[in-house]
Amino acid sequence: NAGVTQTPKFQVLKTGQSMTLQCAQDMNHNSMYWYRQDPGMGLRLIYYSASEGTTDKGEVPNGYNVSRLNKREFSLRLESAAPSQTSVYFCASPAGEVNTGELFFGEGSRLTVL
């Protein structure tokens, strides 16, 4: 099925460990986004990529790095995980080649940092 695929779905890390969240979309769109959602809160934008090879900071970029190596994939890296990064992470991309604002979200990656 067309859409946004995130891996892993669940991950537990110890403080200081590093990991990369992977996101792939098959809708052939230029834009991709990473959001995080803490319990009881709305989504907050971490980073986004308007096109292949470009990335921009969102509301809460500190502690994260991103990489957009090709049109399909947009990865989010935690270099040194902290308990404050315990959250659910969502990747999103517009549903189609024209960005009308209709975003398609992945199922989320649930990260716990101990």
Partner 1 sequence: DAKTTQPTSMDCAEGRAANLPCNHSTISGNEYVYWYRQIHSQGPQYIIHGLKNNETNEMASLIITEDRKSSTLILPHATLRDTAVYYCIVRVHSPSGNTPLVFGKGTRLSVIA
In the stretch 20-59, what mask flags binding to partner 1 with x, by CB under 8 A?
Answer: ---------xxx-x-x-----xxxxx--x-xx----x-xx
Give just the sign of the alpha carbon dihedral 84, 80, 89, 61. Answer: positive
CA distance 42 to 33: 15
Amino acid letter for position 11: Q
Whole-number minimum distance, CB 108 to partner 1, in Å? 6
State both tokens at 23: 């996101």
Return the number of the residue (17 or 43) whose C-beta is nearest partner 1: 43
Residues that bind partner 1 (CB under 8 A): 4, 29-31, 33, 35, 41-45, 48, 50-51, 56, 58-59, 88, 90, 92, 94-95, 98-108
